[in-house]
Amino acid sequence: MSKSNLADFISSFKEAHASEVESVEVFEETRASIIAKKDSYIEVAEILRDEYGFIIPIAGGAIDYPEENRMEMNYYLDNPDSDFIVIYRVHVDRENPVLPTMTKVWEAMSFHERETKEMFGIDFEGHENMIALLLPPDWKGGYPLRKDFKGEGVE
């Protein structure tokens, strides 16, 4: 995949995987956004890794949308042969924030998911090391990066 054909990649990806994604779009010269449907988001991640060369996981994190009663988990993926970066996204219900872990696809996402669990409260089913990463052991509760967070232990 060369740098000049990100639009071709997006077009062929949309066509081949339309039933598994909500949207696929280019937003910069070498950047694309893919929003997967929740029930196929692991499968699409494996396709991105195995068929399209997105083998380098760069980062991961969440965004809180309380007015829409949802959050969004974002994974940043690099294809080193093309220098394309995909922001791979999935919507998560804010009241029941659960996703399968992405560590089965990219083990390097472990720390990002642990941080996201602590900061946003998203549970990653199947994560084998979901221990506290950043917050102190006596943390009184709450998720500091949710937009409605008022402070430690504040109701």
- State the total domains in the chain: 1
CA-closest candidate to residue 67, choices 8, 12, 148, 128: 148
Residue 56 lies in a domain: yes
Cut 0.85: pTM above it = yes
**Greater pLDDT, 28 or 71:** 71
Long-range contacts of 8-14 (CB under 8 A, 24+ apart): 9/52, 9/82, 9/84, 13/52
CA–CA separation, 150 vs 132, rounded Å? 21
Residue 33 lies in a domain: yes
CA–CA separation, 12 vs 56, rounded Å? 21
Residue 87 lies in a domain: yes
Expressed as residue numbers, the domain containing 11 is 3-125
Residue 49 lies in a domain: yes
Residue 107 lies in a domain: yes
CA–CA separation, 49 vs 146, rounded Å? 30
Q: With cut-offs at 50, 70 and 90, classify the pLDDT of residue 3.
A: very low
CATH number of the domain where residue 13 is located: 3.30.460.80
